Amino acid sequence: MENVKNVIRNWGSIEVDENGKVIGATADFYEYFMIMPTDLIGKSITRIIHTSSSFSLKGLDHKHVFSGVISGHACFIRVFRREADTLYTIIIRQDELEYSDLVYFTNSLEKNKIKKNSVVQGRYSFEEIVGKSKEIERVKELAARIATSSSTVLLTGETGTGKELFAQAIHGLSTRKAQPFVPVNCAAIPDELFESEIFGYEAGAFSGAKKEGKPGKIELAQHGTLFLDEISELPYQAQGKLLRVLQEREVERLGGTGTKNVDIRIIAASNRDLRTLIQEGKFRQDLYYRLYVFELKIPSLRERQEDILPLAHHFVEYFNNKLGSHVKEIDPKLQDWLIQYDWPGNIREIKAIIERGMNIVDGGTLTLESLYFTPNFILEVPSVGINNPFSGTLDEVVGNAEKSAIQRALKDSEGDRSLAAQKLKIHVASLYRKIAKYKLK
C-alpha cells in the first residue's frame, strides 16, 4: 500500500472499502495478529477492531486516531482517507505515541517476541458470540464479570456449544489479554505423551527427547491463560500433577529435579459430567473442587431457539465470504426446519449444515433442498424425528419436520396445548389446526 510506506515500526495496516468491509491487509498485520486472510477478507471492520463504543469509519476525520483491541491486543489506530470512498486503517507508528504509551507497547512487543511462534492469542470477544436470547445473554454477562478475576473457570455444556469461544472471550476481557492464550485438547494427546506436552521435559528425560529440553504448555502460558478442553479425558496420574500446579503455583518438568513458579489462569471445559466420573473413580474429587471455583454452563441450541436463525444467517455471511457465494436469504421452509430440528451437535452442527448447503446452493436463496440434494446423490442429513424426513417430496419433508416438532412440543408440555403453542411460537388456534391436519392425539 503506497500510503503506508513512510510509516515505520507499525503493526501493519488494513484496507477497507466504502462499505466498511475489509478487502486486504499487509503481511506484517497477518503475522503480528496471527489472523488468516480467510478470517479477515470480507468482514466488517467493526468485527475486527473492538472499541469501547461503536464507531463508523465514514464518520471519522482524516488521520483520526483512536484506541482499540485487535485479537486481544490493545493498540492505537490511525485512519487515513486516501479517496472520497476508500479508507485505510493503519496501526499508529510508535514514534507518535506519548512516552508512557511507548514504554507500554515496547514492553508488549518484547514479550510477544518470545510467544509469537509457540502460542496463540484469543481471537474472539463476547461481541462475537452470536445470540440475543436471555439464556445466552445471562451467561455472557456472568462470564464478563468473572473475566476480570484470575480465578479458575470450569465451562460445561454439550459438545459444539462454543466453550472455547467463551474461554477466548474471557481471556480477551481479562487483565491477561496481552499475554498468551494456550489451548490444549486433552483428548487429542496420547496418554504416554501427555505429561511431556503439558509439563515439559528436561534434556535426556527419555529416549528421543530434545537435548535442550522443552517447555510444556503450562510454561508457555506464563502470565496468560491455559485452556484445558475436554479435561474429563485428562489421565488420572496427570490430574495429580495438575492439582499441584493449581495449589502451589509451580511446575516440575518431566525428568527435572526442581520446580518453576508459574503465574497462569486455568480455564477448563468438559462436555461430560465430572461428578459422575468422580463416582466411577476416573476423575479426582480434589481436582474437581479446585476447578469448581466458577462453573459456567453454556446452553444448548435447544435452550436458545431464538438464536438459531441469527446463527444461520451469521454462517451464511461467513461462507459467502469464504466461498465467494452471494446468498442473500434463507427460504422460509428451511427456516422452519432449522428452528424445529434438535441440533444435538449445537453450533458446530449448524455451521456444518450451512456449509453443506452453501457448497450446493444455486442462486441467492438457501433452501431446504440445498442441504441434501445434488444431481448425483442424496446427502444424509440428520433426521428430525423417527422417520427420515428427507424422503419424499419437499412438501412431505417439511410436513414430517412440522409434525415431529408438534409431537415433541406436546410431549414436553405434557399435553398442554397452550404451552406447546408457546414453545412453537405459534398461535394456539394454529396448533389446533395442525393437530387436526396431522391427526395427532
Give pLDDT tens digits for 287-328.
999 998 899 999 999 999 999 999 999 999 999 988 888 899
CA dihedral 9, 11, 12, 13 (to 10 degrees): -110
| pLDDT for position 309 | 93
Look up cell 389446533; give the residue.
Answer: 432
How far apart CA 229 and CA 368 sit, in angstroms, is 34
Percent of the chain as helix, strand, coil, to the nearest 5:
45, 15, 40
Higher-confidence residue of 126 and 142: namely 142
| pLDDT for position 124 | 65
For residues 208 and 183, the answer to whether their CB atoms sit within 8 Å is: no
Distance of CA 425 to the CA centre of its chain: 29
| pLDDT for position 109 | 38
Single pTM value for the model: 0.58
The pLDDT of 333-346, averaged and rounded, is 88
Higher-confidence residue of 95 and 337: namely 337
How far apart CA 313 and CA 377 sit, in angstroms, is 26
The pLDDT of 334-349, averaged and rounded, is 89
The pLDDT of 216-235, averaged and rounded, is 91
Helices (H), 204-235: 217-220
Beta strands in 104-157 (DSSP E): 153-156
Is the pLDDT reported for residue 270 higher than 90?
yes
DSSP label at residue 170 = H
Instruction: Tell me the three state secondary structure of residue 296.
Output: strand
Closest alpha carbon to 87 in 78, 77, 79, 95 = 79
Higher-confidence residue of 56 and 18: namely 18
In degrees and rounded to multiples of 5, residue 156 shows phi and psi of -125, 160
| pLDDT for position 53 | 54
How far apart CA 93 and CA 181 sit, in angstroms, is 26
Among 60-64, 65-69, 236-240, the range of highest mean pLDDT: 236-240
165-182 burial, b at 16+ Cβ within 10 Å, e below that, comes to: bbbbbbbbbbebbbbbbb
- pLDDT range class, residue 191, cuts 50, 70, 90: confident
| Phi/psi-derived region of residue 71, left when phi > 0, alpha when psi is between -120 and 50, beta in every other case | left
Q: How far is CA 139 from CA 1, 28, 128, 364, in A?
A: 42, 36, 14, 35
In degrees and rounded to multiples of 5, residue 158 shows phi and psi of -65, 165
How far apart CA 348 and CA 337 sit, in angstroms, is 17
| pLDDT for position 90 | 53
What is the share, in percent, of the chain residues with pLDDT greater than 90? 23
Is the pLDDT reported for residue 372 higher than 80?
no
Is the pLDDT reported for residue 220 higher than 50?
yes
* Lowest mean pLDDT across 93-107, 132-146, 190-204, 388-402: 93-107
Is the pLDDT reported for residue 231 higher than 80?
yes
For residues 158 and 273, the answer to whether their CB atoms sit within 8 Å is: no
Nearby residues of 132 by Cβ (< 8 Å), 6 or more positions away:
306, 307, 310
- pLDDT range class, residue 4, cuts 50, 70, 90: very low
How far apart CA 73 and CA 121 sit, in angstroms, is 9
Is the pLDDT reported for residue 122 higher than 70?
no
Closest alpha carbon to 121 in 74, 154, 162, 190 = 74
Looking at every residue in the chain, the average pLDDT score rounds to 77
Is the pLDDT reported for residue 369 higher than 90?
no
For residues 122 and 164, the answer to whether their CB atoms sit within 8 Å is: no
The pLDDT of 188-217, averaged and rounded, is 80
| pLDDT for position 314 | 92
| pLDDT for position 397 | 65
What is the share, in percent, of the chain residues with pLDDT greater than 70? 74
How far apart CA 410 and CA 417 sit, in angstroms, is 7
Higher-confidence residue of 46 and 165: namely 165
Is the pLDDT reported for residue 235 higher than 70?
yes
* Lowest mean pLDDT across 85-94, 216-225, 351-360: 85-94
For residues 290 and 246, the answer to whether their CB atoms sit within 8 Å is: yes
| pLDDT for position 89 | 56
Is the pLDDT reported for residue 77 higher than 80?
no
DSSP of 347-362: HHHHHHHHHHHHHH--
| pLDDT for position 385 | 39
| pLDDT for position 266 | 94
* Lowest mean pLDDT across 301-305, 330-334, 398-402: 398-402
DSSP label at residue 151 = -
| pLDDT for position 257 | 78
> What domains, with CATH codes, occur in the chain?
2-115 (3.30.450.20), 126-297 (3.40.50.300), 303-437 (1.10.8.60)
